[in-house]
């Protein structure tokens, strides 16, 4: 006997199957509903960077360091007169101090003078004027040597003084020149002495003593004769120090008298 199923009965049967979990249509291949999910393969880890062979790098080429002391020696040796020496100093680019200076301060006075004075570096007034020792310290320097009958404007070489500095450029904030800065200017200074050929040299302050004699300590060294580059050398306290310490002028006067006596001995 055939059982006829109407639409409502078929719908109710389908809903019952769905409630039982039969949601898939019948396919050609059997499905094992009890099979476990396949385990996914574990991802392979990349080896740590430390175990990898380093990539080949092109060898770094360091920029060659210029030997500015050697360049200064070459430039100074090539200067045949004071004009050439001035041009060589003005063209020298090894000292960073030059970048902040207004002027290159070379020298003042009579180049035929018997006395060559070497100071430390230009100050503000000297940087503006382009000449050494023109500020308050320079005015005191002129008075000091005028007291023994000498000056930068004296027409006769026997009464004249010639003035220069270790550094031809004003240091930033008037700081002391570094040992490296002094070293690269020493060849120019030595050549300057050779071209002027004074009878004696006066070193005003620590930087000139370091440049010419290779040591510092002006308070211990002042007043005692030394020798450098074939010339008698007298270290003296800088006029700027005398302005701050007037009591030291008595010692400076003794040094001036010693210079005067040395010039008589060298006549």
The Cα–Cα gap between 187 and 68 comes to 11
CATH architecture classification, 68-266: 3-Layer(aba) Sandwich (3.40)
Query: Please, which residues bridge with residue 233 across strands?
Result: 201, 226
Beta strand 115-119 with 161-165 is parallel
Give pLDDT, residue 1.
47
pLDDT computed for residue 255 by the predictor = 98
pTM recorded for the entire structure: 0.76
Contact yes or no for 206/120 (Cβ under 8 A): yes
Is residue 124 a contact partner of residue 230, using CB atoms and an 8 Å limit?
Answer: no
Under DSSP, is residue 202 helix (H, G, I), strand (E, B) or coil? strand
SS3 115: strand
Q: Could you give the C-alpha distances from 168 to 96, 99, 121, 190, in angstroms and in order?
A: 12, 12, 6, 14
Structure tokens at 224: 């005692």
Q: Which three-class secondary structure state does DSSP give residue 180? A: helix
Maximum Cα–Cα distance for the chain, whole Å? 159
Q: What is the DSSP string of 43-69?
A: PPPPPPGGGSPPPP-PPP-PPPPP-HH
pLDDT at 65: 75
Whole-number Å distance between alpha carbons of 101 and 87: 16
Beta bridge partners of 202: 117, 234
pLDDT in tens, the chain (267 residues): 455 567 777 777 667 666 655 655 555 666 665 566 666 666 666 555 555 555 556 555 555 678 999 999 999 999 999 999 999 999 999 999 999 999 999 999 999 999 999 999 999 999 999 999 999 999 999 999 999 999 999 999 999 999 999 999 999 988 999 999 999 999 999 999 999 999 999 999 999 999 999 999 999 999 999 999 999 999 999 999 999 999 999 999 999 999 999 999 998
Beta bridge partners of 226: 233
């Amino acid at each position: 006997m055939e059982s006829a199923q109407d639409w409502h009965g078929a719908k109710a049967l389908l809903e019952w199957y769905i409630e039982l979990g039969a949601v898939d249509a019948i396919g050609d291949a059997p499905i094992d509903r009890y099979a476990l999910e396949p385990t996914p393969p574990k991802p392979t880890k990349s080896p740590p960077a430390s175990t990898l062979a380093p990539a080949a790098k092109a060898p770094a080429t360091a920029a060659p360091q210029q030997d500015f002391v050697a360049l200064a020696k070459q430039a100074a040796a090539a200067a045949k007169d004071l004009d050439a020496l001035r041009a060589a100093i003005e063209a020298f680019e090894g000292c960073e101090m030059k970048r902040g200076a207004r002027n290159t301060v070379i020298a003042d006075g009579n180049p035929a003078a018997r006395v060559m004075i070497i100071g430390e570096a230009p100050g503000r007034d000297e940087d503006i004027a382009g000449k050494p020792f023109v500020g308050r310290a320079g005015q005191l320097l002129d008075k000091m040597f005028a007291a023994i009958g000498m000056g930068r404007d004296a027409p006769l070489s026997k009464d004249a003084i010639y003035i220069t500095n270790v550094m031809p450029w004003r240091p930033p904030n008037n700081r002391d020149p570094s040992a490296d800065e002094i070293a690269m200017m020493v060849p120019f200074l030595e050549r300057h002495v050779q071209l002027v050929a004074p009878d004696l040299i006066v070193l005003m302050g620590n930087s000139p003593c370091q440049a010419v004699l290779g040591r510092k300590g002006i308070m211990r060294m002042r007043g005692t004769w030394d020798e450098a580059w074939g010339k008698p050398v007298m270290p003296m306290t800088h006029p700027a120090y005398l302005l701050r310490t007037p009591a030291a002028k008595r010692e400076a006067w003794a040094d001036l008298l010693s210079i005067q006596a040395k010039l008589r001995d060298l006549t």
